[in-house]
Structure 1
């Protein structure tokens, strides 16, 4: 279940909770058409970029 998404073109970061107590974080790059898994620290750092803009 998608819990949160952050859009900073060309990226979209998502926090996904597939089941209670389990979180996954992914980063989509729509220019390069790739997806990478993030750890919590990387996700929060990306989220902070939204505050800076």
Structure 2
């Protein structure tokens, strides 16, 4: 899909566009969203598996 060079260019554009001051807030939000997504996916997986007897 994307190579390393394309991702680097996109990252540089995002940093320039958003500014360096917004970067920590953006990474914090992304980490929080990833944790929420992971916990929700785990909950769905546990809900779909039948209980073991």
Determine if the TM-score, normalized by the shorter chain, exceeds 0.5. no
Which structure shows the bigger proportion of residues in strand conformation?
1
Higher Rg:
2
TM-score when normalising by structure 2: 0.32
